[in-house]
Structure 1
Amino acid sequence: MTDLDLSVPGAGRRAAPNQAPALVGHNVVTSDHALTEALARHGSPELVGELAPLGAEAGTAEAREHGMLANRHHPRLTSYDRWGNRIDEVEFHPSWHWLMERAVGHGLQAAPWEQQDRGDPHAHLRRAAGFFAWGQTEPGHGCPISMTYAAVPALRVDDAIAREWTPLLAARSYDPGVRAASEKSGALAGMGMTEKQGGSDVRANQTRAVPTAEDGWYTLHGHKWFTSAPMNDLFLVLAQAPGGLTCFLVPRVLADGTRNRLDVVRLKDKLGNRSNASSEIELDGTLAQRLGEEGRGVRTIIEMVAATRLDCVLGSAALMRHALAEASWHVAHRSAFGGLLVDKPLMQNVVADLAVESEAATALAMRLAAAVDRPGDPHEAALRRIALPLAKFWVCKRTPAMVAEALECLGGNGYVEESGLPLMFRESPLNSIWEGSGNVNALDVLRALGREPEVLQAWITEVGAARGSDSRLDRAVDDTLALLGDLAALESGARRLAGQMAACLQGSLLVRFAPADVADAFCGSRFGTSYGGTFGMLTSGSLREVVDRATPHL
């Protein structure tokens, strides 16, 4: 009877031998050394304690189950009510609302902007770490959370609009439903930029904005090809006004309580991100309030783009960390060929390599979040300008291969939906596409280098802080600078340049702040001659110590 466990589901039946237990009951924040050390480095050790309750909840079996249910039961569009009235409402599973309520309650949406205004020096770093940790419960609901966070800096182009909406967007009250803003205790924001004929080329947009008799208000006529979370309370939309491409605020419900004309044509059938509703919408006389000047739509919305790019990096880093946690936990508990998998040299190499990749992504993401907390610092502003597209390109591109390798560590178990790894794998390409594909971000790096000379100096200063500490990193920096000799000829090699610049930033952070074994493994592989792009080819570093550092603990 020793193989019976009356405390678990299935009690009374024979327990399956040699199966790793579910990874539940750990604290997603405090068990992540790369995260906690970054918080202490860029903020203060107290931040770890402040985020510990979030980390504990994120590691529960309940959170895991809600994440699975939200993806199993997809959002459903109801175009008309029983009486034939057009309502365009999307219904979500209760688990979606459970996840959203806690994300908002933890202040992962727009709360940091008000906290920063009140003098909190680490508001955005705290939020970034929370978004990173809570995103390991389920990634899809991070989309409306991220868009709400990113909307505030764009709204601040107009003081009156910002004063009206920011308190609702920053409120820690999740209040879903289609009602006027005056009747809600909290609000969420979305965006609608791309159109079917242009995609990332938003200047090709054809949606028209026609001025009304009321100053600052227009009617919109056209479509949007991707509008996620169409049940949100307001949307930032780009349209062609008489003065050119302009940014507009589109409320879901007007001040008098009537529903704005926002027709949801269909929900997208996506590869991943299936808990979240992404829609095509038609605009036909939709009322919208101008945000910023006519003709300056891209400039108005650029801060929103920067904030969502940061969240793309955070979301991809979170997927990496979650996949690594599952892989390292599995090999620490699964035996094969006469011993634990974690004791097998080749498996150690694979998991250590995954750990190095994850730690590099985490370190870079938290460094960028810390830069948002220092808006008045010229170096931080310039670094943020160049490092965001670099990190967005590199970290998001690295994620699918990394998650696939972590899945393989679980063997057949990792290919089964119950493990959660297939969900992560389907999600892994998304952040590389959203908010500008890999090419768009690589070209944005060239644009910044060509127009803003201070950004190159910021990159040189940042990577130069580790100068002399590792010869392999030093050579990589020199090789990268050599590529910049002729910017006009760089377009076809923009990805190579962006990847090398991002890896050098990661290497500098690890050499300065990570354990020597982690930094040695990173520099010896990412800047070495033997690295083939496949995980598990490390040639230096104490691999078992790297693995142990990355494995969650209960």
Structure 2
Amino acid sequence: MAQTLAHTPPQPRNATHDVTNQPPPLTPYDTSEDTALLEGLRREGAGWAEEEVRRLGRAAGSAEAQEWGEQANRHEPELRTHDRYGNRIDEVEFHPSWHRLMGVAVAEGLAGAPWADERPGAHVARTAGGLVWGHTEAGHGCPTSMTYAAVPALRAQPELAAVYEPLLTSRVYEPGLRVPTEKRGLLAGMGMTEKQGGSDVRTNTTAATPTAEPGVYTLRGHKWFTSAPMCDVFLVLAQAPGGLSCFLVPRVLPDGSRNMFRIQRLKDKLGNRSNASSEPEFDGTVAWLVGPEGRGVKTIIEMVNCTRLDCVMMSATLMRKTLVEAGHHVRHRSAFDARLLEQPLMRNVLADLALESEAATTLTLRLAGAADRAVRGDDAESAFRRIATAVGKYWVTKRGPAFTAEALECLGGNGYVEDSGMPRHYREAPLLSIWEGSGNVNALDVLRALSRDPGPAEALFAELALARGADARLDAAVSRLKGTLSEATETGARRLVEQMALTLQASLLIRHAPPAVADAFCATRLGGDWGHAFGTLPDSADLGAILSRALPDGD
């Protein structure tokens, strides 16, 4: 995966000491050198994309691409409300490294391209691409995710989709605000939440007033958290005469004039610093209706499924990235007369992280497979996707912050220093639990799915039944889950969803991972033979087998 010789840069003659016992640079490395990822790619129907994913993995781990990620976060986007002459422009300037990252992501099909690809597994291939390219930098995954998610929502208005979908599914990245139809490729953003409501979008106050032209409205109001304001078009929720509705808002109108899209400020965020998140206000902003009036939430629900999948994928990517960083460090660092990797307690920590990472990656690709088959008309997979995506979004993104903190600690004080890169990953992790619905929102959405239709629960248990009889701990967990499900309450929603997630992950590992991985996961996550922190695997766990699978050069 990486260089194996100690890194000792040339020292000046008057140096007070020699630099020893420090790991060499990780780069270049291959981010696709991930057995669980490649197996999942093939299993979920996108084996045809393996060569492309491997090529992208080598590019992601290059010194150049890693530097792009660091620069995009160090040189944050800047808001320019006016030009030098006093004209209102509301533009955001980005460092060239941001544009390089975006250019690769779009060209590699990580935005809207799968919707134009008829090959089975196209959406799985995109997710796998995100799992490897995401090792570069997390922030630019936001506009690519929103562009991907906008396509199925826009299809609720076929005449608009006919114009914009070919541009949203393009593999051409063309930054800059111009008439959308005059560009070779577009990016889409979203404007949903407002100050007074947040996730409760039905309390939105932005008003949509019909014009004399059918389907065309003007908006007046504000949005509280609109990321990537440099996108070409936005899907926005507003109150029309018939109720909450979805609208398409271009930044530039067909006649070349700027649509009213005043950016009040950019958010000063904990992490995700490379990605501009803004507070725009509308005043006479021209918008086109997407779907029927009063059906805004129904129109965007497919979009939510897509972005939630990407939250799971991005969390799994952060886990894998920080695991690789931690594994590289302990492979080369020594203490108390032994390499850290050879010390039993460190091996336990790293193996426990490896279990969590594999479970997250395997679930991510299973969800991507369900999404791919659902959009091709598979009703059973659609029902499974409906509940499992919300379950995965809740659990995997919740595990991310604890995981990255533990991986950071593997580097000791070095991990707490900015230039290690680990603090950036740590700050990134909590976002994915918040974006596209916090933990409570997703847990309650699972309850809603269960109460409205028996199909999602039936699909989930049908999936779990595929591993029936293979492990007594899993069979017992499925029985407990059925009992909990029959008594589900809002108060216990988090506990229920956690049970669902762990049971589903265990069933996937039992069916698809080696016995050492599946057994350790079931013993700890289902069997209770586990502490409250990573690194508490039981003595029976085969640490060597787990580590050799997760980090091929590490044991």
Structure 2: which amino acid aligns with 1:427?
A: E
Structure 2: which amino acid aligns with 1:225?
A: W
Q: In the TM superposition, what whole-angstrom CA distance separates every residue of 1:352-409 from its partner, at most 9, and x where no partner exists?
A: 0000000000000000101122121121001000001100000000100000000000
Residue 105 of structure 1: how far off its partner (Å): 0.9
Q: Which residue number in structure 1 is paired with residue 547 of structure 2? A: 547
Q: Which residue number in structure 1 is paired with residue 26 of structure 2? A: 23
Output the CA distance in 1 between the equivalents of 2:8 and 2:105. 29
The answer to whether the 8 A contact 2:218-2:285 is kept is: yes
Q: Which residue number in structure 2 is paired with residue 337 of structure 1? A: 336
Q: Which residue number in structure 1 is paired with residue 351 of structure 2? A: 352
Q: Which residue number in structure 1 is paired with residue 385 of structure 2? A: 384
Residue 312 of structure 1: how far off its partner (Å): 0.3
The answer to whether the 8 A contact 2:140-2:274 is kept is: yes
Q: Which residue number in structure 2 is paired with residue 522 of structure 1? A: 521
Residue 531 of structure 1: how far off its partner (Å): 2.2
The answer to whether the 8 A contact 2:120-2:372 is kept is: yes
Matched position secondary structure for 1:484? helix
Q: Which residue number in structure 2 is paired with residue 102 of structure 1? A: 104
Structure 1: which amino acid aligns with 2:232?
A: D
Matched position secondary structure for 2:294? coil
Q: Which residue number in structure 1 is paired with residue 407 of structure 2? A: 406
Structure 2: which amino acid aligns with 1:528?
A: G
Q: Which residue number in structure 2 is paired with residue 55 of structure 1? A: 57
CA separation of 1:553 and 1:153: change in aligned 2, threshold 3 A = farther
The answer to whether the 8 A contact 2:401-2:429 is kept is: yes
Output the CA distance in 1 between the equivalents of 2:53 and 2:236. 34
The answer to whether the 8 A contact 1:26-1:553 is kept is: no
Residue 9 of structure 1: how far off its partner (Å): 6.7
The answer to whether the 8 A contact 2:6-2:21 is kept is: no
**Are residue 140 (structure 1) and residue 139 (structure 2) matched?**
yes
Structure 1: which amino acid aligns with 2:114?
A: P
Output the CA distance in 1 between the equivalents of 2:184 and 2:275. 22
The answer to whether the 8 A contact 1:328-1:547 is kept is: no
The answer to whether the 8 A contact 2:6-2:24 is kept is: no
Q: Aligned runs of 1:32-47 on 2, under 5 Å?
A: 32-47=34-49
Which has the higher mean CA deviation after the structures are superposed, 428-437 or 527-536? Answer: 527-536
Q: In the TM superposition, what whole-angstrom CA distance separates every residue of 1:491-528 from its partner, at most 9, and x where no partner exists?
A: 10100000110111100000000011111111010012
Q: In the TM superposition, what whole-angstrom CA distance separates every residue of 1:76-108 from its partner, at most 9, and x where no partner exists?
A: 001010110000000011111110011011110
Q: Which residue number in structure 2 is paired with residue 262 of structure 1? A: 261
Output the CA distance in 2 between the equivalents of 1:318 and 1:544. 23
Q: In the TM superposition, what whole-angstrom CA distance separates every residue of 1:126-167 from its partner, at most 9, and x where no partner exists?
A: 000001111111000000010000000000111111111111
Q: Which residue number in structure 2 is paired with residue 171 of structure 1? A: 170
Q: Which residue number in structure 2 is paired with residue 497 of structure 1? A: 496
Which has the higher mean CA deviation after the structures are superposed, 520-529 or 192-201? Answer: 520-529
Q: Which residue number in structure 2 is paired with residue 157 of structure 1? A: 156
Which has the higher mean CA deviation after the structures are superposed, 8-17 or 83-92? Answer: 8-17
Residue 184 of structure 1: how far off its partner (Å): 1.0
Residue 182 of structure 1: how far off its partner (Å): 2.5
Q: Aligned runs of 1:151-230 on 2, under 5 Å?
A: 151-230=150-229
Residue 43 of structure 1: how far off its partner (Å): 1.7
Which has the higher mean CA deviation after the structures are superposed, 531-540 or 350-359? Answer: 531-540
Output the CA distance in 1 between the equivalents of 2:151 and 2:226. 18
Q: Which residue number in structure 2 is paired with residue 419 of structure 1? A: 420
The answer to whether the 8 A contact 1:77-1:89 is kept is: yes
The answer to whether the 8 A contact 2:46-2:120 is kept is: no
CA separation of 1:210 and 1:328: change in aligned 2, threshold 3 A = same
Structure 2: which amino acid aligns with 1:456?
A: A
Output the CA distance in 1 between the equivalents of 2:553 and 2:149. 34
Q: Which residue number in structure 1 is paired with residue 366 of structure 2? A: 367
The answer to whether the 8 A contact 1:26-1:552 is kept is: no
Gaps of 5+ in 1: none
Q: In the TM superposition, what whole-angstrom CA distance separates every residue of 1:245-296 from its partner, at most 9, and x where no partner exists?
A: 0000000100111010000000000000000000001100000000000000
Q: Which residue number in structure 1 is paired with residue 84 of structure 2? A: 82
The answer to whether the 8 A contact 2:46-2:124 is kept is: no
Output the CA distance in 1 between the equivalents of 2:491 and 2:525. 22
Output the CA distance in 1 between the equivalents of 2:7 and 2:297. 57
The answer to whether the 8 A contact 1:111-1:171 is kept is: yes
CA RMSD of aligned residues (A): 1.6
Q: Aligned runs of 1:111-122 on 2, under 5 Å?
A: 111-115=113-117, 119-122=118-121
The answer to whether the 8 A contact 1:150-1:307 is kept is: yes
**Are residue 474 (structure 1) and residue 475 (structure 2) matched?**
yes
Output the CA distance in 1 between the equivalents of 2:454 and 2:189. 33
Q: Aligned runs of 1:298-313 on 2, under 5 Å?
A: 298-313=297-312
Matched position secondary structure for 1:191? strand
The answer to whether the 8 A contact 1:128-1:366 is kept is: yes
Output the CA distance in 2 between the equivalents of 1:287 and 1:451. 36
Matched position secondary structure for 1:196? coil
Q: % of aligned pairs identical? A: 61
Q: Aligned runs of 1:392-471 on 2, under 5 Å?
A: 392-471=393-472
Output the CA distance in 2 between the equivalents of 1:73 and 1:10. 30
The answer to whether the 8 A contact 2:249-2:288 is kept is: yes
Gaps of 5+ in 2: none
Residue 533 of structure 1: how far off its partner (Å): 2.9
Q: Which residue number in structure 2 is paired with residue 284 of structure 1? A: 283
Structure 2: which amino acid aligns with 1:23?
A: L
CA separation of 1:9 and 1:189: change in aligned 2, threshold 3 A = farther
Output the CA distance in 2 between the equivalents of 1:195 and 1:451. 27
Output the CA distance in 1 between the equivalents of 2:553 and 2:127. 22
